[in-house]
Amino acid sequence: MANNIVSLDSLDIKIADFISEITKLDQSKVLVSFIPKGQKFGSYGENICYVKFYNENDERQMYKQRTTKYDSESETNTITQSTMRTLMLHLVLYGPNSGELAALINESLYTNKGKDFLYSNNLSLIPDRTSFPFKSYEEIGGRWWQREDVKLYFYNSISIEEVVGTISELDITIDRQ
């Protein structure tokens, strides 16, 4: 049985690597938020990005598609059930270039490289639900840090498979009384 359900933790790591590559930020500066051992933080004046995927409630996940494929060699049917879940990616960027980096990340998802990344991870960007980077300031350790928040929404196709045998013979007796 081959299932295609990628964990959100796995997607966090993949998007962090992708963001590190396109922004040219060192991997130690693109971090997953809310890790079990506590959060690392950068020094004042350096750029840093936090990433985290979340499940979104969406009625699309209720609908299932099923396909059946028969294998004559093994005389089995493979039933594949698919659905679509909606995910929200929350990015929090700090540092003097946080605005430019947030825009770069947002725009890069529409490039060929971005589309290839999304396609290879069964993600499809939902442009009309994507928010533009939101700039704010946050006090950390007595200093004001520039902060940019970006929320990106994606559809993520998932599927499960089940292999079932076929009826090879049947003995039917009709009793007429």
Number of Cβ within 10 Å of residue 156's Cβ equals: 22
CB-based contact 90:52 (threshold 8 Å): yes
Residue 2 clears pLDDT 60, i.e. is over it: yes
pLDDT of residue 118: 96
Residue 42 clears pLDDT 70, i.e. is over it: no
Q: Over the stretch 114-158, which tens digit does the pLDDT of each residue have?
A: 999 999 999 999 988 877 788 888 887 788 888 999 999 999 988
Distance of CA 42 to the CA centre of its chain: 25
CA angle 22, 25, 31 (to 5 degrees): 100
Roughly how many angstroms between the first and final C-alpha of the chain, as a whole number? Answer: 46
Residue 110 clears pLDDT 80, i.e. is over it: yes
